[in-house]
Structures are given as structure tokens and as C-alpha cells.
């Protein structure tokens, strides 16, 4: 009987590293906090020859808080999307690993069946030889 060993050694897809995900999150989060500065947002309301008043500063503060909130939400959304992508990649890798294992197990079973069939054929040939030998002696 032929004895085969099966080694399942396929590498799973890498996905996003936790360090890269955290780095992108930190950058997006910092950018969102920076966009929350009303001084940056008030410039869009400047008009030539007109000094800045309370209304422009008030609107700039509202715009800044909206941009900051949206930026923070986007940073967390990106981090969540990376986690979902990693989980999906891991699942696909596990499915590929399982399919590979099943294919190898099927191959092993086929080899075992072939070995058993070959042994049975040898046994039948030996029995046929013995029968013909005995048949020739008895005649």
C-alpha cells in the first residue's frame, strides 16, 4: 500500500496590517481636528474692503464644526472598512484553504482506492493462476 502524506501549506492573503490601519486613522483624525479651526474656514467669507464681523466668524465656526465632525466620522468609517476588508480577506483565505484541503483529501482517497483495486487485481490473478495450475494437475 502506498502511504502519502498531505501537507497543507498555502499562505492566506495578507490584508491590511493593524499598524497601517492605525496610521491612516491617526492621519485622518488629525486632519479632521485641524479642519475644525474657524480661522481656516473664515477666509472663504472675506470680501475685499469689508472687515470680518461676528456673522462671518459664527458661520466659520459652524462650518468648522461640521467639517470636523464629518472628518472624524470618515476616519472611523475608514477604520471600520479596513476591519471589514480584513475579515472578508481572512474568510476567503480560509475558504481557499478548506477547498485545497478537500482536494488533497480527495486525491489521497483516490490513491487509496487505486491501491486497493491493484491489490484486489493481483489477488485475483494469483487465484486464477492457482486455479489454472490445479486445473492442469487434475486433468
Rounded to two decimals, the pTM is 0.60
Q: CA angle at residue 88 from 85 to 92, to 5 degrees?
A: 135
**CB of 13 within 8 A of CB of 93?**
yes
Answer for the pair 2, 111: CB distance below 8 angstroms, yes or no. Answer: yes
User: What pLDDT is attached to residue 7?
Assistant: 53
Q: Kindly tell me if the per-residue pLDDT of 77 is higher than 90.
A: yes
Rounded-to-integer distance, Cα 76 and Cα 29, Å: 8
| pLDDT (0 to 100) of residue 49 | 74
The predicted structure's pLDDT at residue 95: 87
Longest dimension (CA), the chain: 131
The residue whose grid cell reads 484541503 is 101
Contacts of residue 16, Cβ cutoff 8 Å, sequence gap at least 6: 82, 85, 86
pLDDT at 1: 46
Distance CA 43, CA 57 (A): 10
Residue 6 has pLDDT above 60, yes or no: no
What does the pLDDT read at residue 2?
Answer: 47
Amino acid at each position: 500500500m502506498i502511504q502519502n502524506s498531505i501537507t497543507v501549506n498555502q499562505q492566506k492573503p495578507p490584508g491590511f496590517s493593524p499598524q497601517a490601519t492605525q496610521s491612516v486613522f491617526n492621519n485622518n483624525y488629525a486632519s479632521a481636528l485641524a479642519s475644525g479651526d474657524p480661522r481656516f474656514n473664515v477666509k472663504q467669507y472675506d470680501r475685499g474692503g469689508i472687515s470680518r464681523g461676528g456673522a462671518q466668524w459664527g458661520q466659520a465656526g459652524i462650518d468648522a464644526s461640521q467639517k470636523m465632525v464629518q472628518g472624524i466620522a470618515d476616519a472611523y468609517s475608514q477604520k471600520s472598512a479596513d476591519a471589514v476588508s480584513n475579515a472578508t480577506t481572512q474568510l476567503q483565505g480560509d475558504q481557499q484553504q478548506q477547498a485545497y484541503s478537500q482536494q488533497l483529501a480527495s486525491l489521497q482517497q483516490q490513491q487509496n482506492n487505486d491501491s486497493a483495486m491493484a491489490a484486489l487485481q493481483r489477488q485475483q490473478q494469483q487465484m486464477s493462476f492457482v486455479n489454472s495450475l490445479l486445473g492442469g494437475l487434475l486433468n
